[in-house]
Amino acid sequence: MSYFRAENLSLHFGGLKAVDAVSFAVEKGEILSIIGPNGAGKSSIFNLISRIYPPTSGKIFFEDQDITQQPPYDIAKLGIARTFQNIELFENATVLSNLLVGRHRHSTTRLWQELLFMPSVRASEKLHRRRVEQVIEFLDLEPYRDKLISGLPYGVRKVIELARALCSEPKLILLDEPSSGLNVEETDDMSFWIRDMKSELGITVLMVEHDMTLVNRVSDRVIALNYGRVLAMGSPSEVQHHPDVVAAYLGA
Amino acid sequence: MRFLFKTDYEDDIRLFPHSGYIYTYGLLLAALLLAPYVLSSYLMSQLVFVCIYATVGVGLMILTGFTGQASLGHAAFLAIGAYTAAYLQQHNVPFPVYFLAAGLLTGVVGALVGFPALRLQGIYLVIATISFAFIVEEILARWESVTHGNEGMRVKTIQLLGTSMSRDGPVFYYLCLAVLVLTIVGTLNLLRSPTGRAFVAIRDSETAARSMGINVALYKVKSFAISAAITGFAGVLFAHKLSFISPEMFTLQLSIEFIIMILIGGTFSLHGAVLGAIFLVMIDPFLTYLKDDMPGVIAGVAATFGAGTERAAHIQDAVAAFASANGLKGAIYGIIIVVFVLFEPLGLYGRWLKIKLFFQLFPLYKRATFKRQKIYVKSERNR
């Protein structure tokens, strides 16, 4: 059985079939990219997995557990973290507290303990802080710890979002266009980090991406989508040379 | 300017980042503890109101400032706290018991209000909380067997350990101060733990909060409950300070005053709640001054600039008529809100931070430091 599986997943908005009977599987420890033209349904698949939308039909399995009916906040508890295409950070908080929110799924303290800031809370806060520091080091975010998000440039925010997802120590991470809005150098950094996430942290990666250089560099397998349907699946070069994919991009 | 070199994760967790904070807040606390021996009874009474309002402000700050849920129903929570205390006191329940009971009951009511509020945002939430406040006001007026309706209820002085605690005495002031300080410390503790961060996360992006594993509904209800409970505790003190409560004290006007308090103080920090409370308590004497002394002063000025006696008297009458016009208070509140929202959205505490930074960086302060940044495209689809 696959590590993560989507079976006949569909999402219809009235007559519009944003996602139409899509099935795919992600193996443990691989980097799988989803590509496709605008409006192909890539981000919709992510929103289905993180339960922002309920699917019209179909099922999602993670570690052989049906997660289709789980409430959205349980998805993160299972070990699936995500980033957003248009950056959803907590604007008026510091980088550090943004990253600490990423630790939320590991927090066990109770309200009354927190009100009194019992020694147990202090100890767990220190533990969270140490884990966050490891991620900060991993992604070179040291200069920004105490900065407010609202004052940071776009490229840095993108990395902080990745960092926040990593802070939750996920087993599977969903990256929604990790390189959008980044310059060449930043995209290079991003591709190294994605590879390191796989090799050093052992995280399985599912990502939506437009930048084909990045896709070719990091992906083990690629899925091409158009109009909510799977066009092709396979190694990066196989998919790129698939006639349907060429037709979808070039309109031939 | 001081640079902090952090050597331990503890440095990010502690309440006072460096010793300077301990000295300043220690001095402030010492001054507040000595106040009853120095200040007149009128000023002490004002100070007690500052403590009570600031407690409400901290409660409202948790809900509105940190969780981002607006509420115009906090007068109702205050009323529930006050009436619970008054009712239980009549049935000879000792003070510590009814103090806690009032806070708990208000907290439970707050949670109940939180549930329907889950589906509402922004202006709709404001309308829902206003309706809640009206319902409570109406219940207080009609449920005569418990609340004595519009006749109101007398609240006797607090009996504790066989002694009575006069509402004008220093002990009652210390009690209010202690409640305020404990509330602030508890809130600060909350803000540096997972719950507080979850509140802030919900304020800034519910979608992201959800995808990080935060149960948004649960935390919103928690925020409502905590905020209401704190307001309930303040309600008990409020009832004792006034020694008489009736439904018309807990109107929409009071809820609006609470919102003004945190708006003017600054909605991003607990300092704002306290500064706002001071402002709110000071505005009434200011309006009285406007009414009593202003006409005479203006007439005097007019006379020195060559206006005849008759003309000066005429001016004095006109100003007096203006100053005692109905609804002047509301108009002044309105103007104050508009001015603050337009020119100082960060409130009094924001202004204080700017002044502090100006002197810290002197002569290098840039006017643009606090300029609001352009906000990047944020997806509205996932709301």
| CB-closest option in A88, A104, A107 to B205 | A88
pLDDT per residue over A77-119, tens digit each? 999 999 998 888 988 889 999 999 999 999 888 888 888 888 9
**What distance in Å separates residue B308's CA from the closest CA in chain A?**
58
Cα(B163)–Cα(A43) distance, rounded to whole angstroms? Answer: 68
Higher-pLDDT residue of A10, B294: A10
Tell me the CATH number at B173: 1.10.3470
Residue B1 lies in a domain: no
Per CB-CB distance under 8 Å, the chain B contacts of A75 are 211, 213
- Residue B312 sits in the same domain as residue B354: yes
Give yes or no for B56 touching A (CB within 8 A).
no
Which of A46-60, A201-215, B116-130, B218-232 has the weakest average pLDDT? B116-130
- Among B223, B248, B280, where does a domain finish? B280
pLDDT per residue over A123-148, tens digit each? 999 999 999 999 999 999 999 988 88
Global pTM value: 0.89
Residue B195 lies in a domain: yes
- Residue B103 sits in the same domain as residue B243: yes
pLDDT of residue B371: 67
List all residues 6 or more positions away from A36 whose beta carbon is below 8 Å from its beta carbon: A42, A224, A225, A226, A231, A248
Cα(B299)–Cα(B342) distance, rounded to whole angstroms? Answer: 33
Residue B31 lies in a domain: no
CB B65 within 8 A of CB B268: yes
Give yes or no for B100 touching A (CB within 8 A).
no
Residue B275 lies in a domain: yes
Strand extents, DSSP E, chain B: 153-154, 158-160, 163-165, 244-245
- Among B244, B259, B280, where does a domain finish? B280
Residue B331 lies in a domain: yes
- Residue B70 sits in the same domain as residue B112: yes
**Quick one: CA torsion of B136, B138, B144, B145, rounded to 10 degrees?**
-30
- Among B280, B299, B318, where does a domain finish? B280
Q: Is B115 helix (H, G, I), strand (E, B) or coil?
A: helix
Domain count, chain B: 2
- Residue B232 sits in the same domain as residue B86: yes
Per the structure, the complete domain to which residue B363 belongs is given by 287-370
**Quick one: CA torsion of B307, B313, B318, B320, rounded to 10 degrees?**
130
Which percentage of chain A shows pLDDT scores above 70? 99
Query: Which residue out of B197, B370, B378 would a mutagenesis test of the A interface target, given it has the greatest number of A Cβ atoms within 10 Å?
Result: B197
> How many CB pairs below 8 A link A and B?
132
Give yes or no for B253 touching A (CB within 8 A).
no
Q: Position A247: which residue type?
A: A
pLDDT of residue B379: 47
- Residue B64 sits in the same domain as residue B182: yes
Per CB-CB distance under 8 Å, the chain A contacts of B62 are none
List all residues 6 or more positions away from B46 whose beta carbon is below 8 Å from its beta carbon: B281, B282, B285
| CB-closest option in B193, B215, B373 to A73 | B215
- Residue B258 sits in the same domain as residue B317: no
In which residue ranges of chain B is pLDDT below 50?
Answer: 376-383
Residue B375 lies in a domain: no
Cα(A202)–Cα(A197) distance, rounded to whole angstroms? Answer: 6
Give yes or no for B196 touching A (CB within 8 A).
yes
- Residue B197 sits in the same domain as residue B71: yes
- Residue B201 sits in the same domain as residue B230: yes
- Residue B159 sits in the same domain as residue B236: yes
Residue B155 lies in a domain: yes
pLDDT of residue A160: 94
- Residue B189 sits in the same domain as residue B87: yes
Q: Is B376 helix (H, G, I), strand (E, B) or coil?
A: coil
Q: Which residues of A85-122 are buried (b: 16+ CB within 10 A; e: fewer)?
A: bbbbbbbebbbbbbbbbbbbbbbebeeebbbebbeebb
> Domains in chain A, please, with CATH?
4-79+170-250 (3.40.50.300)
For the record, the structure tokens of B52 come out as 């009570």
- Residue B43 sits in the same domain as residue B101: yes
B207 to A52: CB separation less than 8 angstroms, yes or no: yes
Residue B6 lies in a domain: no
Mean pLDDT (chain A) is: 90
Cα(A89)–Cα(A4) distance, rounded to whole angstroms? Answer: 27
- Residue B99 sits in the same domain as residue B139: yes
**What distance in Å separates residue A238's CA from the closest CA in chain B?**
33
Place of tokens 């980033």: A83
